[in-house]
């Protein structure tokens, strides 16, 4: 299955060797779920250059020995097209309980969300339901939940964004779609990494220069805040933890700077300000239609 997302390996290779993100290990620089460190490293490097250590043995072994679902791309696409994908996904995982199947599951999930963001919430809910099911298979020595967690951790914001992906404000913008997927992972507790929180911070602190790039960064932050803003203010965010008052203050500053030129984006910013102003209450992490608010149907 082709993976659109790619990561850069090596400290000096801005356009270097690329591998599917799903085939890479967790970052060793402290950006994984329970080991979140300072946001400074991400901001110094920017969202375009990441460093990885050697692959753990299982990532070599599974590529040669594990088998995924036959015709995985088509089969998973059909499963995600169902009104409730969860039963279909669980059946596939029970029939083919391998690392390769989990990788195909996550790649298919991200592709399904990117193809139809209006179903993103339903797809994320299905992934959560399957991963926490009492019927979920154990794969090797790991639970399905732990593998889903690590595979998603290796997906969110692990891509070298081209200039057009940051400077074009459109529904197929990779950065905005990453923000949607990341916000859903935080909302459903699927995974949590420093890169995900740092992306929110980059949006809150976007240069007040009136550029489309700043609008994209801010819109990405608003997407995550409206989906899972309470997580940013919670202890689990580690050093990225930000008070609702601080979030509201930065969002209001961006409003004053007129960063959001697009009227729909400006409306989303207002909603994010309201959410932060009311304390980032978990009960208000309910904007599952945030992408449709940013890019309403023209029909």
* DSSP secondary structure letter of residue 260: -
Two tokens, residue 250: 């930065």
In tens, the pLDDT along 47-97 reads 333 333 333 434 334 333 368 899 999 999 999 999 999 999 999 999 999
CB 184 within 8 A of CB 195: no
Q: Which residues contact 155 (CB under 8 A, 6 or more apart)?
A: 5, 21, 22, 106, 110, 181
Residue 115 clears pLDDT 80, i.e. is over it: yes
Residue 75: is it exposed, middle or buried by C-beta count within 10 angstroms (0-12/13-18/19+)?
A: middle
Please name every residue paired with 8 in a beta bridge, in sequence order, or none if there are none: 18
Per-residue confidence band for 44, with pLDDT thresholds at 50, 70 and 90: very low
Whole-angstrom distance, CA of residue 69 vs CA of residue 230 = 37
Among left, alpha and beta (phi > 0; psi -120 to 50; other), residue 61 is: alpha
Two tokens, residue 52: 């990885």
Q: Radius of gyration of the chain from Cα atoms? A: 19
Residue 217 clears pLDDT 90, i.e. is over it: yes
pLDDT of residue 11: 23
Report the DSSP pairing between strands 138-139 and 18-20: unpaired
Per-residue confidence band for 210, with pLDDT thresholds at 50, 70 and 90: confident
Out of 17-21, 146-150, 240-244, which region has the weakest mean confidence (pLDDT)? 17-21
Average pLDDT over residues 293-299: 87
User: What percentage of the chain has pLDDT greater than the value 90?
Assistant: 71
CB 102 within 8 A of CB 90: no
CB 126 within 8 A of CB 89: yes
- Alpha helices by DSSP H, listed for 10-141, are 40-45, 57-65, 72-81, 86-95, 99-115, 120-131
pLDDT of residue 47: 39
Beta strands in the chain, from DSSP E residues, in sequence order: 6-8, 18-20, 138-139, 142-143
* DSSP secondary structure letter of residue 282: G
How many residues in total does the chain contain?
Answer: 299
Residue-averaged pLDDT of the chain: 81
From residue 272, give the alpha-carbon distance in Å to each of 73, 101, 102, 216, 226. Answer: 36, 37, 34, 15, 6
CB 67 within 8 A of CB 100: yes
pTM exceeding 0.85: no
Helix axes 263-277, 244-256, angle to 10 degrees: 150
């Amino acid at each position: 299955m082709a993976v659109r997302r790619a990561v850069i390996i090596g400290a000096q290779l801005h356009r270097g060797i690329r591998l599917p993100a799903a085939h890479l290990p967790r970052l060793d620089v402290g950006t994984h779920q329970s080991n979140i460190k300072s946001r400074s490293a991400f901001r110094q490097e920017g969202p375009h250059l990441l460093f990885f250590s050697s692959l753990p043995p299982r990532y070599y072994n599974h590529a040669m020995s594990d088998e995924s679902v036959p015709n995985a791309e088509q089969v998973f696409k059909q499963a995600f097209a169902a009104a409730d994908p969860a039963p279909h996904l669980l059946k596939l995982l029970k029939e083919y309980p391998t690392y390769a199947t989990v990788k195909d599951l996550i790649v298919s999930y991200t592709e399904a969300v990117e193809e139809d963001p209006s179903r993103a919430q339903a797809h994320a809910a299905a992934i959560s339901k399957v991963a926490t099911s009492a019927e979920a298979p154990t794969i090797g020595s790991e639970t399905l939940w732990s593998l889903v967690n690590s595979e998603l951790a290796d997906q969110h914001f692990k891509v070298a964004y081209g200039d057009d992906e940051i400077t074009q404000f459109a529904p197929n913008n990779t950065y905005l779609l990453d923000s949607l997927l990341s916000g859903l992972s935080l909302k459903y507790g699927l995974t949590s990494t420093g890169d995900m929180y740092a992306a929110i911070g980059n949006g809150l602190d976007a240069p007040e220069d009136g550029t489309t790039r700043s609008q994209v960064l801010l819109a990405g932050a608003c997407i995550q805040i409206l989906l899972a803003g309470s997580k940013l203010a919670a202890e689990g965010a580690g050093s990225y933890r930000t008070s609702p008052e601080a979030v509201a203050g930065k969002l209001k500053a961006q409003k004053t700077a007129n960063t959001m030129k697009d009227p729909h984006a400006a409306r989303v910013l207002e909603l994010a300000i309201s959410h932060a102003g009311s304390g980032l209450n978990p009960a208000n992490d309910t904007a599952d239609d945030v992408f449709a608010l940013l890019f309403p149907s023209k029909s």
